[in-house]
Amino acid sequence: MENMSLTTDERIALAILFIRGQKVLLDIDLASIYGVKTKRLNEQVKRNTNRFPQDFMFQLSDEEKKQVVASCDHLNKIKFSNSNPYAFTEHGAIMLASVLNSPLAIETSVLIVRAFVKLREILSTNAELAKKIMELETRYDKHFKVVFHALRELMNDEILKVERPKIGYQIAPGKE
């Protein structure tokens, strides 16, 4: 996340990964966003372990680490690290602001919340649209079946997927 030409919002959005079925930010990315060294961030977490239960953070396995390094160019520097990075959920990332307790950390935590909220909105929009189409399909007769089928195809069309910015990283099924 060293590209400073990106706004903080963009840096956060690009740093969100999808690991173990959760949207998370890695310690290295959070340290960069919060303007501290990763070592300092992890020291603060260790000093405040009671603030970081398992649903707030977890440490990546060796396999997960390999996958994120292979998929995210900016994470190459952790490839040879002796320890695996920590992944923080939205709540864990916000809790970090309270343990880091700097003006930048507090300001940045607001941006992190907004990034996670925006991601939730993007993901829910497609689900809501599919639900509305199903409701309409049950209400109207078979003459519109072709129309509804075409709408579903458009929702799944690769063209639409390319137009949306990709957010996060998803581990291949069965690799968790």
Q: Assign 7 a pLDDT band (cuts: 50, 70, 90).
A: low
Question: What is the predicted pLDDT for the residue at 169?
Answer: 62
Residue 99 lies in a domain: yes
- Domain contains 57: yes
pLDDT digits (tens, 9 = 90+) for 134-163: 676 666 655 566 666 666 666 665 444 445
Give me the pLDDT at residue 64, please. 92
pLDDT, tens digit, for every residue of 35-86?
889 999 999 999 999 999 999 999 999 999 998 888 888 888 888 888 999 9
Average pLDDT of the segment spanning 23-41: 90
Exposed, middle or buried by CB within 10 Å (0-12, 13-18, 19+), for 61?
A: middle
Its pTM surpasses 0.75: no
pLDDT for res 1: 46
| pLDDT score at 55 | 93
Please indicate, yes or no, if residue 1 is contained in any of the structural domains.
no
Separation between Cα atoms, residue 128 and residue 120, nearest integer Å: 12
Angle, helices 8-15/103-139, rounded to nearest 10 degrees: 60
Structure confidence at residue 152 (pLDDT): 65
Encoded amino acid at 150, one letter:
A
Q: What are phi and psi of 58, to 5 degrees?
A: -155, 160
**Which residues form the domain of 96?**
8-122
- Tell me if 154 is assigned to some domain: no
174 in any annotated domain: no
Q: At what angle do helices 8-15 and 27-34 cross, to 10 degrees?
A: 170
Q: Is pLDDT at 16 greater than 80 in this prediction?
A: yes
Q: Which one has a higher pLDDT value, 50 or 122?
A: 50
> Between 117 and 16, whose confidence is greater?
16
Least confident interval from 5-14, 74-83, 91-100, 104-113: 5-14
Place of tokens 């959070």: 30
| Assigned domain for 38 exists | yes
Residue 129 belongs to a domain: no
Q: Answer whether residue 139 is part of any domain.
A: no
Q: How confident is the model at residue 4 (pLDDT cuts 50, 70, 90)?
A: very low
Q: What percent of the chain has pLDDT over 90?
A: 24
Q: How many domains does the chain have?
A: 1
